[in-house]
């Protein structure tokens, strides 16, 4: 069993507990009653022409399967407001509990604290989770191509849009990019971390970027250790870069975020 398969097995178990507490009909009703989603697509568009630098998806992330404990984050709202101050385009919130120590409570706290689009970062494998994401104020959800067959990917993408949200469709290989585009993805992320082995190769983004169509929003994910990596991703055409570990471990996340954004400007001319 790969790391991805193991994580998804746990996600399904935890989901059944939440479904028992809040039945499907109830979560659908809560989603329908939520305030309309913010426009995440607009927030991520034209990152390369932004005079403030490349767009950053700043992540609230306590832990990871590869690195273990990253940061305690006693109050996600404080971190989220720092990200907003630093110029984040979108804030990503891990809601998976076993490997990432996230929760829907974290999502609620961040949603209440900022006026930016919020991404629910989880392993979306069941229709319930999409209504749940919307009920908790998410504007954007993650769809991992490696975790879904083509029919399910297309169905989940359609459901996401029906609920007024956008989907960050994550790929790792050329084949997965093709599958994402065929399903109708408008926002495609290339994760330079192989979710089956957890190995990271930042050069992988440049290799995969040439396969991304010009009309999708292009996101570089993982591997950011400092401003130079963000600059390289931007140089390879990334409209936005998702940054987690490097921000949560920095004592001044707002200032770190500004450095990441402006790093891309040195390559513009």
pLDDT, residue 13, reads: 95
Q: Report pTM.
A: 0.93
Q: What mean pLDDT is reported for the chain?
A: 91
**Given the residues 59, 96, 132, 236, the one annotated as active site:** 59
CB under 8 A, 24+ apart: contacts of 253-258: 253/58, 253/79, 253/82, 253/83, 253/86, 254/82, 254/83, 254/85, 254/86, 255/86, 256/86, 257/56, 257/58, 257/82, 257/83, 257/86, 257/87, 257/88, 258/86, 258/87
- Measured over the CA atoms of residue 242, residue 6, residue 63 and residue 228, the dihedral's sign is negative
Tell me 49's DSSP state: G
pLDDT, residue 269, reads: 36
- Residues 83-134 pLDDT 10s: 999 999 999 999 998 888 899 999 999 999 999 999 999 999 999 999 999 9
- Residues 164-175 pLDDT 10s: 999 999 999 999
Q: Which of 113, 109, 93, 111 shows the shortest CA–CA distance to 101?
A: 93
**Given the residues 96, 132, 166, 170, the one annotated as active site:** 170
What span, in angstroms and rounded, lies between the C-alpha atoms of 77 and 22?
25
What span, in angstroms and rounded, lies between the C-alpha atoms of 147 and 111?
27
Q: How many CB atoms lie within 10 A of CB 182?
A: 11
pLDDT, residue 67, reads: 66
Asked if 59 is an active-site residue, the reply is yes
Strands of the chain (E only): list them.
Answer: 55-60, 63-64, 68-69, 90-94, 118-121, 140-144, 166-171, 187-191, 217-221, 240-243
Q: Which residues pair with 69 in a beta bridge?
A: 63
3-class DSSP assignment, residue 69: strand
Instruction: Return the higher-pLDDT residue of 54 and 179.
Output: 179
**Given the residues 176, 221, 236, 245, the one annotated as active site:** 221
**Given the residues 63, 64, 191, 194, the one annotated as active site:** 191
Spatial contact of 189 and 143, defined as CB atoms under 8 Å apart: no
Asked if 194 is an active-site residue, the reply is no
Domain with 113 in it: what CATH number? 3.20.20.70
Q: Which of 45, 75, 43 shows the shortest CA–CA distance to 60?
A: 75
**Given the residues 222, 236, 245, 264, the one annotated as active site:** 222
**Given the residues 121, 132, 236, 264, the one annotated as active site:** 121
Asked if 221 is an active-site residue, the reply is yes
Average pLDDT over residues 31-45: 96
Asked if 69 is an active-site residue, the reply is no
Tell me 116's DSSP state: S
pLDDT, residue 268, reads: 47
pLDDT, residue 107, reads: 97
Please count the structural domains in the chain: 1
What span, in angstroms and rounded, lies between the C-alpha atoms of 115 and 50?
19
Asked if 176 is an active-site residue, the reply is no
> Which domain range does residue 116 map to?
3-266
């Amino acid at each position: 069993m790969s790391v991805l398969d193991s994580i998804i097995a746990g996600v399904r178990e935890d989901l059944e507990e939440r479904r028992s507490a809040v039945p499907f009909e109830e979560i659908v009703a809560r989603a329908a009653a939520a305030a309309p989603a913010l426009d995440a697509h607009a927030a991520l568009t034209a990152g390369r022409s932004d005079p403030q630098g490349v767009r950053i998806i700043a992540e609230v992330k306590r832990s990871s399967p590869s690195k273990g404990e990253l940061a305690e984050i006693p109050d996600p709202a404080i971190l989220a407001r720092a990200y907003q101050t630093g110029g984040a385009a979108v804030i990503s919130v891990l809601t998976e509990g076993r490997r990432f120590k996230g929760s829907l409570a974290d999502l609620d706290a961040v949603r209440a604290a900022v006026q930016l689009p919020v991404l629910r970062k989880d392993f979306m494998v069941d229709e319930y989770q999409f209504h749940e994401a919307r009920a908790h104020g998410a504007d954007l959800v993650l769809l991992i191509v490696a975790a879904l067959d083509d029919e399910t990917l297309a169905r989940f993408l359609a459901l996401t849009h029906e609920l007024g949200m956008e989907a960050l469709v994550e790929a790792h290989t050329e084949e997965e990019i093709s599958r994402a585009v065929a399903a109708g993805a408008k926002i495609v992320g290339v994760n330079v971390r192989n979710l089956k082995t957890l190995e990271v190769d930042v050069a992988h983004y440049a290799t995969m970027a040439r396969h991304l169509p010009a009309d999708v929003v292009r996101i570089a994910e993982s591997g950011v250790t400092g401003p130079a990596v963000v600059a390289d991703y931007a140089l390879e055409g990334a409209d936005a870069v998702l940054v987690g570990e490097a921000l949560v471990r920095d004592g001044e996340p707002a200032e770190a975020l500004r450095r990441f954004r402006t790093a891309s400007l040195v390559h513009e001319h």
